[in-house]
């Protein structure tokens, strides 16, 4: 998406094609959920691994602690738990999903997509699924894409997840990076509605000339895994922190202004900004430059560190649950990351849905159990078919 996405509202709905007066379609966030691993790692613990201190980390980044994936956690399992919570809030059955998008920089595998695993485990049997790679801006890209898919009429209900296990790709000998990152997942369910509001506009940008500033160099086709790539630490995060810092403070401000102006609003109309949680100094510098007081900026970097594409959905989830987002509020989500990429989204929040009935939650739980059964059954049938084909080939 090369250009400013412009306003997403104002597109005719599906019933516009059969001659009746077309209703406008909007993409509303109707469910949200998050998941972080149980294990909390404090700055003091990190200072026992590398030459750093709690004071340095707090003063330079604002981070106090982060959550670290346990042996049984992975990007897909964290994504699944966040997704289930979002579906519960939305009271949506997985079979009603048209699309599952997982934004991640730490996918379960290079392929298949983590989103396909989540789709299978949920039993989202009518959904397409794919991963989206845009570094820490991944959730913003995915949210914009999902909203446009809904507004265009191509989908009615979309699950968007940001999920990461960055602890698996951090160089635990590099104090310049290992103190920054954490693990977690956040998810939202978007649904088409004729009620004005929801995800109204977005801005997506990229500057690949800065690709080497933040990267995981090996493991792809450029540097396939080899003893040398492993020995040279090329499967770990490499970052030029100072350059990324400079870039971040500039684009956070620009992207926020752009989406606000796109809606014909001013920054005074924005009730809450939810920025990518990378470093409190970046967030404060952007707020200063925008002239927005910090009580209108959501911050949780102290508790989670930088969870890349999970950082905004986790923060959004907490902001909603703590009552910081109110009906009819305009909120802006804004992020930057590897690529380089950056982007923002402006949302008009609508009244929250009523709590789901315990019965429909029970039905979803049975559905998850059936999805696991169906997945195992399909694997078995595939194996049997291949075995029978093998026998037939031998007998010819
Ligand atoms: O989602 C995008 C992900 N990336 C980011 O958002 C990163 C953006 N950049 C940053 O947040 C900051 O640049 C850092 C937190 C990474 C570093 O902070 P800084 O204030 O830019 O520090 P610096 O790189 O300029 O380093 C200052 C000093 C250096 O020592 P000397 O050369 O002045 O003696 C570093 O070696 O701090 C040293 N240093 C540390 N000292 C203690 C770097 N990391 C550490 C550490 N503990 N963990």
Q: Which atom of ligand 1 is nearest to the CA of 52?
A: 47
**Is the shortest distance between the CB of 167 and ligand 1 below 6 Å?**
no
Segment 139-158, tens digit of pLDDT: 999 999 999 999 999 999 99
Q: Could you give the 3-state DSSP secondary structure of residue 241? A: helix
Segment 288-333, tens digit of pLDDT: 999 999 999 999 999 999 999 999 999 999 999 999 999 999 999 9
> pLDDT grade, residue 120 (50/70/90)?
very high
Q: Are 276 and 269 in contact (CB under 8 A)?
A: no
- Ligand 1 center–CA 242 separation, angstroms: 7
136 catalytic per annotation: yes
User: What pLDDT does 10 receive?
Assistant: 46
Kindly tell me the burial class for residue 300, based on how many C-beta atoms sit within 10 Å of its own C-beta (0-12, 13-18, 19 or more).
Answer: middle
| Alpha carbon distance 69, 208 (integer Å) | 30
pLDDT at 121 over 90: yes
Q: What is the residue with the minimal CA distance to atom 39 of ligand 1? A: 176
Segment 196-216, tens digit of pLDDT: 999 999 999 999 999 999 999
238 catalytic per annotation: no
| Alpha carbon distance 184, 50 (integer Å) | 23
- Sign of dihedral through CA atoms 18, 151, 132, 303? negative
Segment 6-28, tens digit of pLDDT: 556 545 544 444 545 567 899 99
Kindly tell me the burial class for residue 271, based on how many C-beta atoms sit within 10 Å of its own C-beta (0-12, 13-18, 19 or more).
Answer: middle
Tokens of 165: 């296990």
Q: What is the residue with the minimal CA distance to atom 35 of ligand 1? A: 176
Instruction: Assess if CATH 3.40.50.970 describes domain 17-348.
Output: no
Segment 184-195, tens digit of pLDDT: 999 999 999 999
Treating both helix axes as pointing N-terminal to C-terminal, what angle do 138-151 and 311-321 enclose, rounded to 10 degrees? 70
| Alpha carbon distance 108, 325 (integer Å) | 32
- Sign of dihedral through CA atoms 39, 103, 131, 95? positive
Tell me the pTM: 0.93
Mean pLDDT for all residues in the chain: 93
> pLDDT grade, residue 357 (50/70/90)?
confident
**Is the shortest distance between the CB of 56 and ligand 1 below 6 Å?**
yes
> pLDDT grade, residue 38 (50/70/90)?
very high
Segment 92-119, tens digit of pLDDT: 999 999 999 999 999 999 999 999 999 9
Please report the DSSP string for 138-163 in residue order.
Answer: HHHHHHHHHHHHHHTTS-SEEEEEEE
- Annotated domain spans of the chain: 17-348, 357-396
Segment 242-297, tens digit of pLDDT: 999 999 999 999 999 999 999 999 999 999 999 999 999 999 999 999 999 999 99
300 catalytic per annotation: no
What integer is the mean pLDDT of 358-373? 92
pLDDT at 235 over 70: yes
User: What pLDDT does 19 receive?
Assistant: 47
What integer is the mean pLDDT of 38-54? 97
pLDDT at 228 over 90: yes
């Amino acid at each position: 998406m090369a250009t400013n996405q412009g306003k997403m509202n104002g597109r005719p709905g599906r019933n516009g094609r059969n001659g009746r007066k077309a209703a406008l379609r909007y993409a509303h966030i109707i469910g949200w959920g998050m998941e972080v691993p149980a294990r909390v790692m404090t700055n003091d613990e990190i200072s026992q691994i590398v030459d750093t201190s709690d004071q340095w980390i707090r003063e330079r980044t604002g981070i106090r602690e982060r959550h670290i994936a346990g042996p049984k956690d992975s990007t897909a399992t964290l994504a699944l738990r966040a997704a289930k919570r979002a579906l519960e809030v939305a009271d949506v059955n997985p079979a009603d999903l048209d699309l599952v998008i997982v934004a991640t920089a730490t996918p379960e595998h290079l392929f298949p997509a983590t989103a396909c695993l989540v789709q299978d485990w949920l039993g989202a049997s009518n959904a397409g699924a794919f991963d989206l790679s845009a570094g820490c801006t991944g959730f913003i890209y995915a949210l914009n894409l999902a909203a446009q898919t809904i507004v265009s009429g191509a989908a009615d209900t979309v699950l968007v997840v940001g999920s990461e296990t960055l602890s698996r790709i951090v160089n635990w000998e590099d104090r310049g990076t290992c103190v920054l990152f954490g693990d977690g997942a956040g998810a939202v369910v978007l649904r088409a509605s004729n009620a004005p509001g929801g995800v109204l506009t977005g801005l997506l940008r990229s500057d690949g000339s800065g690709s080497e500033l933040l990267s995981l160099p090996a493991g792809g086709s450029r540097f396939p895994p080899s003893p040398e790539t492993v020995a040279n630490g090329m499967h770990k995060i490499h970052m030029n922190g100072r350059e990324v810092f400079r870039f971040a403070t500039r684009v956070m401000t620009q992207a926020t202004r752009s989406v606000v102006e796109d809606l014909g609003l001013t920054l005074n109309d924005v009730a809450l900004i939810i920025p990518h949680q990378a470093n409190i100094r970046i967030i404060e510098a952007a707020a200063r430059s925008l002239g927005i007081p910090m009580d209108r900026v959501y911050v949780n970097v102290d508790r989670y560190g930088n969870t890349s594409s999970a950082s905004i959905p986790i923060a959004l989830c907490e902001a909603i649950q703590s009552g910081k987002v109110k009906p009819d509020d305009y909120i802006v989500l804004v992020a930057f990351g590897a690529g380089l990429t950056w982007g923002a989204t402006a949302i008009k929040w609508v009244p929250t849905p009523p709590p789901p009935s315990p019965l429909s939650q029970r039905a979803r739980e049975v559905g998850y159990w059936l999805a696991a059964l169906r997945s195992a059954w399909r694997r078995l049938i595939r194996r049997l078919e291949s075995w029978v084909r093998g026998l037939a080939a031998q007998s010819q």
